[in-house]
Amino acid sequence: MGKADFAYELYSKIKQNPTIQNVQDGIAAFQKSGADCIVAIGGGSSIDTAKAVGVIINNPDFSDVRSLEGAAPTGKRAVFTIAVPTTAGTAAEVTINYVITDVEKRRKFVCVDPKDIPEVAVVDPDMMSSMPKGLTAATGMDALTHAIEGYITKGAWEMTDMFHLKAVELVSKHLRGAVENTPEGRDGMALAQYIAGQGFSNVGLGIVHSMAHSLGAVYDTPHGIANAILLPTVMEYNAPCTGEKYRDIAKAMGVEGVGKMTLDEARRAAVDAVKKLASDVGIPADLKAIVKPEDVQLLSESAYADACRPGNPRDTSVEEIAALYRGLI
């Protein structure tokens, strides 16, 4: 932009789980700069922060960032935004959601607003090629979580099913290669996360995300890592309420002979395929290094109150969510 004589100011003090303070600082930086648009470059943290900043700039009645939680009745579109993702996972560049951490209350809150979607999304695998292996694996498993939760959520329907099953297939095919930084792997994951985002943005998610949000708020756990660890356990918990959908997931993940399996066998095959992929890309198998037993009640109450929880295919409770956490520690 400098070479093009295009004036700009850089704001980059954003945490991996962006905070209310990050948003407030971003608003101040935007106002001081005199800018008329935002270019959000980075992962979901950067793009989510840009969404919140852009919404508040054009809707100053919502300057209290907490007031944006849920489906806030904002009147105007956010500031014109160009999103350039450098990770393949969140799909924040095409969704109506963003997530902010309330450090004071040790919780994350989800904001849902169609007016926050960036006008332009530049999804370029080359921009993702510098991701280290661990971040590639974590964000890739986030994309898989979006696809699987979006496929089984209560709001799922034929159009979103199409997006989600294709995303499951692409992640299964390309995540290992992306971790090894192959061009094919990077390209496949850029597409996978993008179409998963277009799916779940229309129908919501489930308690994998609710529980991951709590971990991010309390321990600053990277969102993709939290999702990846939780996904197989929550899949097992949800299985009785998913009909034949796990059979479809297993097929999309390349499991052979799924059509001849019993329903229980097909469900187990889908869960095992997710576990195998997570293991292959280096995801931890449990939460023992993250969760303190004395925090389980706080984590569970926060997860139950999370905006993603109502979409879960199986109705749950604080006590059942606590049991899921405890099973991983």
- Reported as a single tens digit per residue, the pLDDT across 112-154 is 999 999 999 999 999 999 999 999 999 999 999 999 999 999 9
Indicate the SS3 state at residue 49. Answer: helix
Beta bridge partners of 164: none
Element (H, E) at 40: strand 38-42
The pLDDT, as a whole number, for residue 216 is 93
Beta bridge partners of 81: 38
Distance CA 165, CA 218 (A): 32
Q: Residue 79 has which token pair?
A: 């500031």
Distance CA 227, CA 211 (A): 8
How many CB atoms are closer than 10 A to CB 290? 18
- Residue 285: DSSP 8-state: S
- Residue 116: DSSP 8-state: G
Helix ranges (DSSP H) in 242-295: 245-252, 263-280
- Reported as a single tens digit per residue, the pLDDT across 270-312 is 999 999 999 999 999 999 999 999 999 999 999 999 999 999 9
Query: What does pTM read for this prediction?
Result: 0.94
Residue 1, pLDDT > 90, answer no
Q: Are 156 and 249 in contact (CB under 8 A)?
A: no
Distance CA 274, CA 263 (A): 17
Indicate the SS3 state at residue 86. Answer: coil
Q: For residue 232, what are the CA distances in angstroms to 16, 53, 148, 273?
A: 24, 35, 11, 9
- The domain limits of the chain are 20-121, 131-327
Q: Which CATH number fits domain 20-121: 3.30.110.40, 3.50.50.60, 3.40.50.1970, 3.30.450.20?
A: 3.40.50.1970
Distance CA 155, CA 151 (A): 9
Residue 80, pLDDT > 90, answer yes
Distance CA 146, CA 308 (A): 11
The pLDDT, as a whole number, for residue 152 is 98
Q: Residue 157 has which token pair?
A: 């329907």
How many CB atoms are closer than 10 A to CB 96? 17
Backbone angles phi, psi at 107, to 5 degrees: -150, 160
Q: Which CATH number fits domain 131-327: 2.60.40.720, 3.40.140.10, 3.40.50.300, 1.20.1090.10?
A: 1.20.1090.10
- Reported as a single tens digit per residue, the pLDDT across 46-78 is 999 999 999 999 999 999 999 999 999 999 999
- Reported as a single tens digit per residue, the pLDDT across 254-263 is 999 999 999 9
Residue 170, pLDDT > 90, answer yes
Q: What is the DSSP string of 158-226?
A: HHHHHHHHHHHHHHHHHHHHHHTT-HHHHHHHHHHHHHHHHHHHHH---HHHHHHHHHHHHH---HHHH
Average pLDDT along the chain = 96
The pLDDT, as a whole number, for residue 247 is 98
Same fold, 20-121 and 131-327: no
Angle at Cα 284 formed by Cα 283 and Cα 288, nearest 5°? 155
Confidence of residue 2 (pLDDT cuts 50, 70, 90): confident
Which residue do the tokens 């997931």 mark? 249
Q: Are 231 and 274 in contact (CB under 8 A)?
A: yes
- Reported as a single tens digit per residue, the pLDDT across 10-36 is 999 999 899 999 999 999 999 999 999
Backbone angles phi, psi at 155, to 5 degrees: -90, 0
Q: Residue 313 has which token pair?
A: 């295919």
